[in-house]
Amino acid sequence: MAAPELELIARALVAPGKGILAADESDSTIKKRFDSIGVESNEENRRAYRELLFTTAGAEEFISGVILFDETIRQSSVDGTAFPQLLESKGVIPGIKVDQGAKPLANAPGETITEGLDGLRDRLAEYRGLGARFAKWRATYTIGAGTPSEYCIWTNAHALARYAALCQEARIVPIVEPEVLMDGDHDVERAYHVTSRVLFALYTELHDQKVQLEGTLLKPNMILSGYSAPTQASDDEVADYTLRCFRERVPAAVPGIVFLSGGQSDEQATARLNAINARGPHPWELSFSYGRALQAPALKAWVGERGNVEAAQQAYYRRAKFNGAARSGTYAPEWETADVA
């Protein structure tokens, strides 16, 4: 049995109707997001943008936790409240991204291994002191000719399990994120087979390294056609393939599966999560841990202007609410064009 404390946190993160906001963009990723709206990526703009998200009134009805970046967990709102404490005061659980990025994997052209294990025990202790109660580590896999290799799949699974074990030792819930990238022209069947191999390796390593699954969450890709594939699987097919793969590969001891949005549009990410939950009940909670799919409309509404903060918060609240409804399969695509706030 996982320490009851860890299981309670994992379960709170996937409470009915709620999911996670991924606001842990690294400096280079947030720069890309800000470039797209013509905003300079400096520390104050990053802080102001994250404050906008974290102070959105009522978002906590649908948001159980927020993943922060190293810079963000040390920042505060204008009134001087540290972000982790601000989130906690709303009943939102602070989390932290602890990997140090996907780097080229030696002897495997085009493949990556995620770094960040050295010194991780000490960093986790510090993050816990700053308020983090859960963490995230992302590995990436590319679908191509001969990739992902078994070498890439197993080295990343090993690292994910080492990270997860260290998190549990530090009384932090590990979110394990093996992301099979959906770039390319592969069909949905190929995405299913690759994701299945990745999950098999991951749960083998987690077991071998004695990670208590009850105190973990899985953050995977949905199973999609490649973004440039000529034929795109429908939302129903995505739901069917995704559920089939997870039923075969993810033990029921895992409390929840929180999807990343990848390159899906915000509306697609919601509609597919809804289709998945409409097929319930399932052995695990099926929720979201979206970055782009929760933030895209807010970023567009904000464009770095103080006068747009309220409109941006409304846009974020609306996406959070729609995804909250998708948790129970009760979202309706008509809401996108209706005046639903």
Interface residues toward ligand 13P, by CB under 6 A: 22, 138, 177, 260-262, 290-293
CB of 261 to ligand 13P, least distance (A): 3
Of the pair 33, 186, the CB lying nearest ligand 13P is at 33
Of the pair 212, 225, the CB lying nearest ligand 13P is at 225
Q: What sign has the CA pseudo-torsion 275, 315, 58, 262? A: positive
- Active-site residue, selected from the candidate residues 177, 179, 214, 285: 177
CB of 11 to ligand 13P, least distance (A): 20
CB of 269 to ligand 13P, least distance (A): 7
Helices (H) and strands (E) in the chain, counts: 12, 10
Phi, psi of 18 (to 5 degrees): -125, 160
Of the pair 138, 249, the CB lying nearest ligand 13P is at 138
Is 267 tagged catalytic? Answer: no
Q: Is the peptide bond before 281 cis (omega within 30 degrees of 0)?
A: yes
Is 32 tagged catalytic? Answer: no
d(CA 270, CA 340): 15
Of the pair 7, 177, the CB lying nearest ligand 13P is at 177
- With a CB cutoff of 8 Å and minimum separation 6, the contacts of 118 are none
DSSP state of 228: T
Rounded to 10 degrees, the C-alpha dihedral 102/105/110/114 comes to: -20
**In the bound complex, which residue of the shown chain has the CB atom lying closest to ligand 13P?**
291
Helix (H) or strand (E) holding 256: strand 256-259
The amino acid at 153: I
Of the pair 70, 310, the CB lying nearest ligand 13P is at 70
Q: Is the peptide bond before 104 cis (omega within 30 degrees of 0)?
A: no
Helix (H) or strand (E) holding 140: strand 134-141
CB of 138 to ligand 13P, least distance (A): 4
CB of 1 to ligand 13P, least distance (A): 28
- Active-site residue, selected from the candidate residues 18, 97, 136, 219: 219
Active site residues: 177, 219
